[in-house]
Amino acid sequence: MKRIAVLIIPIVAVAALAARRFGPRAGRPDLASRIAAMPDSAPPKWIFNNVTAIRANTDRILELMERHAAAESERPAPAPPRD
């Protein structure tokens, strides 16, 4: 009996860990395709479109800020005022 328990307990533990690790992703469908299939008046589609637009705007703003910072670093420092 003890020998069986020594074999079964680790197998059950590994199976439980594997189910916990891979279980939630196993049945997850592609969200973008599900949203695209919804009618335009569906609130989840509005939210998805707004979040997508916000991400695109944020990326564009960050790119502009990086270019501006690079341009500022390339400029020579102003000369100190003379007395």
What pTM was computed for the model? 0.49
5-16 pLDDT tens trace: 777 888 888 888
Q: What's the whole-number average pLDDT of the chain? A: 83
Q: Give a yes or no: residue 23 inside a domain.
A: no
Q: Give a yes or no: residue 54 inside a domain.
A: yes
Q: Give a yes or no: residue 19 inside a domain.
A: no
Cα–Cα separations (whole angstroms), residue 73 to 63, 65, 70:
15, 12, 5
Q: Give a yes or no: residue 80 inside a domain.
A: no
Q: Give a yes or no: residue 13 inside a domain.
A: no
Q: Give a yes or no: residue 7 inside a domain.
A: no
Q: Give a yes or no: residue 63 inside a domain.
A: yes
Count how many domains the chain has.
1
Q: Give a yes or no: residue 15 inside a domain.
A: no
User: For residue 51, which phi and psi values (nearest 5 degrees)?
Assistant: -65, -40
48-78 pLDDT tens trace: 899 999 999 999 999 999 999 888 887 776 7
Domain that holds residue 36: 29-73
